[in-house]
Chain A
């Protein structure tokens, strides 16, 4: 069982927006603004899409955005494109004894 809870799957049509939630606790998501999101295509390494809750690394499309409220973080993808179909993982810092905790992953299907 993963430390952070994500829906197993979400889907949307091209051009639509979807949101993936990531629920943790007051010991991880709720305590630190160090939530990140990763995109993983089959057979590939994860790619950082969002860091520090809502910041985008250079080169990541502005269609990807992040937010947090309390113990729940969210990733929103707007203007869905076929290439967005992938697995998405959230991650939060959880203190020096636990460091990084991940969500179980969400499979995004673009219909």
Chain B
């Protein structure tokens, strides 16, 4: 069974870049079965898909965030990462990493990232 764990700073300054990493255990990130992605949830609000990446490197981004998002994979470390540039207070949220096939099967526990000076 896959396990995912997010890591990264919990506080980011406005206009800077948010960077998070997801470490995958219990399976290989190079598996052709899965897409690896990021989903966020602002406090008290609903879920928003940020983007996904296939092990081959193909990426898929939410059109509303596409200009600011980069998702990458490091197969040697069994990790994938999220970078979100030019953040504002509206980017304050719990960020989840997740795996998906025909649904979002496995989720990390989530990490709160606050954008504040």
* B-binding residues in A (CB < 8 A): 2, 34, 36, 38, 45-48, 51-52, 57, 89, 91, 93, 96-105
Contact = CB atoms under 8 A, between A and B. Distances in A.
Contacts of A48: 103-105
A45 B96 contact: yes
Given A38-B104, A100-B52, 10 more contacts: A36-B102, A38-B47, A45-B96, A46-B104, A46-B107, A51-B102, A91-B104, A98-B62, A100-B37, A105-B46
B109 A45 contact: yes
B60 A45 contact: no
A38 B47 CA distance: 10
Contacts of B108: 45
Interface residues of B, number: 21
Contacts of B49: 99-102
Interface of B: 37, 39, 46-49, 51-52, 60, 62-63, 96, 100, 102-105, 107-110
A19 B67 CA distance: 38
Nearest to B101: A51
A71 B96 CA distance: 28
Contact of A104 (B46, B52, B100, B105): B46
A45 B107 contact: yes
A33 B96 CA distance: 24
Contact of B63 (A2, A91, A93, A97): A97
Contacts of B63: 97-98
